Amino acid sequence: MNYLEFYKNSIENPESFWLSQAKQLDWYKLPKNCLSKDTNDYYQWFEDGELNLSYLSIDKHINDGYGNDNAIIYDSPVTNTKRAITYNELKEEVSRLAGGLKNLGIEKGDTVIIYMPMIPQALFAMLACARIGAIHSVVFGGFAPHELAIRIDDCKPKAIITATCGIEIKRIIPYKPFVDEAIKQASHKPNQVVIFDRGIDVERTQKTYDIDYQELISNSKPANPVPVKATHPSYILYTSGTTGKPKGIIRDTGGYATALKFSMKYIYGVDEGDVFWAASDVGWVVGHSYIVYGPLLNRNTTILFEGKPIKTPDASTFWRVISEHQVKVMFTAPTAIRAIKKEDHDGDFINKYDLSCLKYQFLAGERCDVATLTWTKNHLKVPVIDHWWQTESGWPMLANMVGVELQDVKPGSAGMPVCGYDIVILDEHGEEVSAGVEGYVAVKLPLPPGTLMNLWGNPERFKAGYLKRFPGYYFSGDGGYKDEDGYVFITGRVDDIINVAGHRLSTAEMEEVVASHKDVAECAVFGIHCEIKGQKPLGLIVLKSQDADNEATITSEVIQDVRHEIGAVASFKEVLVVKRLPKTRSGKILRKLLRQMADDLSFNVPSTIDDADIITEIQTVYKSNQIGIHKD
């Protein structure tokens, strides 16, 4: 198939293009209306269709005779466990849990928070919610109780599903006490907390809202899937915005199922029955779309990996999993490859495994540097595909659509627009720029199916954040450029969001925490280069009183505060005390300049700077603390 023709058709005839893709699913009621507007005057797909994600991900395949095929392979080097779960077994687990949730009074349209490690029960919980039309909101385990509390207050869950603990490289994460603490901090109080006991001895206090997961399912009857409207929210997924408050991205059901099914075939090039592995976490959008719903909708076997690319037990883990479970297509973040490369530079571990099953290696989540791409290609000897997307889009916007036609890979580019995404590069006035010129990456409306519907409880922020800046376009928040051949290069965020190990974090949120320390007069937090994690946050603080003896105590308290309020995932480990911060005459802190200096990039001192002498002061502080790209 010809990519350009296929793509052009999706842009010129979106309704017929996506209706024919929607027909690949088994709807209770096939939609007649493709594209319409909702009450917020925003686009929606397949308004009058009805379907169920849990049915399509499980029951449909059993009805088609594939009940004994593996739906999930759980591979957990941190617990030394491997478990294959067939579609029949998945149905038993999910429908019983769904029945249990119904017994707790959870109904269609209710919200449920899932705060769990990478264990099969996390997937059962998501699919059980989808089965009864409850809207799940998965919160990544690396977030602290305070972040969980913010999400509890925003989406007001009737119940929380959690586990006794998670297992990290160096420690056990006590999930249940985190949930208790979050409920204490939140104004909204969920009725129940369902706890899956992992059988590991961890701290736990019995609360009146506690329900044991095993007891719940052993006393429940299996629940059947309920039809929901295509526009029914399947989940809310919180992501960092440019303020301290995260944004609750709402995903629909019908458009999402259509887009994911389409993407498995045409972007990732997998056929039904193949083994697919996204090495991410269910707390991120990658986990939602490509550990759970995408592969299961497409009747693939999905790998659920509870471990890290290194140290669980070593840098060979990824290659063992691919070879042992016959993975055809794998997806990870460049950070994971950089971590592996650091430990196994010559790829000796790779050579120990038969990886002939692997056809494509996909990378996303952050900018992929050319060295990482090249190393991966040279060692795996398969096409390595960088592709670009966001929590908001739910599935790739730029890629090499290998299931349509494998294009040449241009290192540094995240590929060409995916079907349905009319991607343009705009200047600050909203005019399209010429090839090679950097600008704002935007997508012409309407977006294709599967993309965000709105922000939970905040339609004004949705419009202000994404639609207002360039009328008629969705603004991604990323900068980039297109080359003469139409390949797009993403250069990075144009706002306060940073990507640390492929994890999206808000520096504005970190700054709020740092600024609230009693001894901090003012501060700036921004992302600087990190050899492994791509970026890492750096904090500069000005103290209220210049008391050199207390500097070490204050900086360590500030670091602890961020870890306590946001979570370990913020990787906030460096804070420097400075006398002053560079500002414009109107008082705006020059964060970009601070970042450029830290990364040893060339920079121009803006003519609006209040006092240019500060530059030398900051440079001295950076030098004496070895800040810069040569330090890692």
For residue 220, how many other CB atoms are within 10 A of its CB? 18
Q: Which is nearer to ligand COA, 240 or 280 (CB)?
A: 280
Q: What is the DSSP letter of 432?
A: B
Is residue 358 within 8 A of residue 318, CB to CB? The reply is: no
387 is a contact residue toward ligand AMP (CB under 6 A): yes
Least distance (Å) between residue 493 CB and ligand AMP: 5
Is the separation of the CB atoms in 307 and 337 below 8 Å? no
Provide the token pair at 244.
């301290």
Q: Among residues 280 and 376, whose Cβ is nearest to ligand COA?
A: 280
- With 0-12 / 13-18 / 19 or more C-beta atoms within 10 angstroms meaning exposed / middle / buried, residue 272 is middle
User: What is the per-residue binding string for ligand AMP in 478-517, x denoting contact by CB under 6 A?
Assistant: x-----------x--x-----x----x-------------
Among 254, 403, 477, 567, interactor with ligand AMP by CB under 6 A: 477
Q: CB 583 → ligand COA: shortest distance, Å?
A: 31
Q: Among residues 365, 417, 465, 527, which is the contact residue for ligand COA, using CB under 6 A?
A: 365
Phi and psi at 149, nearest 5°, equal -60, -40
CB of 329 to ligand COA, least distance (A): 15
Work out how close the CB of 55 gets to ligand AMP at its nearest, in angstroms, rounded to a whole number.
27
Contacts of residue 269, Cβ cutoff 8 Å, sequence gap at least 6: 329, 359, 360, 402, 403
Which of 62, 123, 139, 279 touches ligand COA by CB under 6 A?
279
Q: ∠302-306-312 over CA atoms, to 5°? A: 125
Q: What's the CA gap between 75 and 138, in Å, rounded?
A: 21
Question: How many whole angstroms separate alpha carbon 447 and alpha carbon 450?
Answer: 9
Candidate residues 54, 86, 390, 413; the one interacting with ligand AMP per rule CB under 6 A: 390
| 237 in contact with ligand COA (CB under 6 A) | no
Residue number with CB closer to ligand AMP (25 or 333): 333
**Contact with ligand COA (CB under 6 A) among 98, 228, 569, 577:** 569
Between CA 490 and CA 487 the distance in angstroms is 10
Write the binding mask 261 to 300 for ligand AMP: x where contact by CB under 6 A, - elsewhere: ------------------------x---------------
Number of residues that bind ligand AMP (CB under 6 A): 20
Instruction: Choose the stretch contacting ligand COA; rule: CB under 6 A; options: 260-268, 274-282, 315-323, 540-548.
Output: 274-282
Smallest gap, in angstroms, from Cβ of residue 64 to ligand AMP?
Answer: 32
Stretch that binds ligand COA, among 151-159, 169-177, 394-402, 403-411 (CB under 6 A): 169-177
- Applying CB under 6 A, among 123, 159, 270, 339 the residue interacting with ligand COA is 339
Q: Write the single-letter amino acid at 629.
A: I
Q: Which is nearer to ligand AMP, 390 or 555 (CB)?
A: 390
Is 451 one of the binding residues for ligand AMP (CB under 6 A)? no
- Residue 15, classed as helix, strand or coil, is helix
Q: Going by DSSP bridges, is the β-strand pair 81-86/70-76 parallel, antiparallel, or unpaired?
A: antiparallel
Task: Give residue 622's Cα distance to chain centre.
Answer: 32
Question: What residue 391 binds from ligand COA, ligand AMP, none (CB within 5 to 8 A, per partner kind)?
Answer: ligand AMP
When binding is defined by CB under 6 A, the residue of 366, 496, 512, 565 that contacts ligand AMP is 366
DSSP string, 530-576: ETTTEEEEEEEEEESS--GGGHHHHHHHHHHHHHHHT-GGG---EEE
Q: Which is nearer to ligand AMP, 369 or 600 (CB)?
A: 369
Which amino acid is residue 194, in one-letter code? V
Q: Which of residues 289-308 bind ligand COA (CB under 6 A)?
A: 308
Q: Measured between alpha carbons, how far apart are the two ends of the chain, in Å?
A: 45
Residue 433's alpha-carbon distances to 399, 425, 439, 517, 557, in angstroms, are 21, 6, 7, 44, 46
Q: For 379-423, give the DSSP string.
A: HH-S-EEE-B--TTTSS-SEE--TTT-PPPP-TT--BEEPTT--E
Q: How many other β-carbons are positioned within 10 Å of the β-carbon of residue 460?
A: 10
Question: Which residue lies nearer to ligand AMP by CB, 124 or 466?
Answer: 466
Of ligand COA, ligand AMP, none, which one sits near residue 386, judging by CB under 5 to 8 A according to partner kind? ligand AMP
Tally of residues, the chain: 632
C-alpha to C-alpha distance for 54 and 224, rounded to whole angstroms = 9
Among 51, 165, 414, 528, binds ligand AMP (CB under 6 A): 414
Residue 135 engages ligand AMP in binding (rule: CB under 6 A): no
State yes or no: residue 335 binds ligand COA (CB under 6 A).
Answer: yes
Residues that bind ligand COA (CB under 6 A): 141-142, 166, 168-170, 173, 279-281, 284, 286, 308-310, 332-333, 335-336, 339, 365, 501-502, 532, 568-569, 571
Residues that bind ligand AMP (CB under 6 A): 239, 285, 364-368, 386-388, 390-391, 414, 476-478, 490, 493, 499, 504
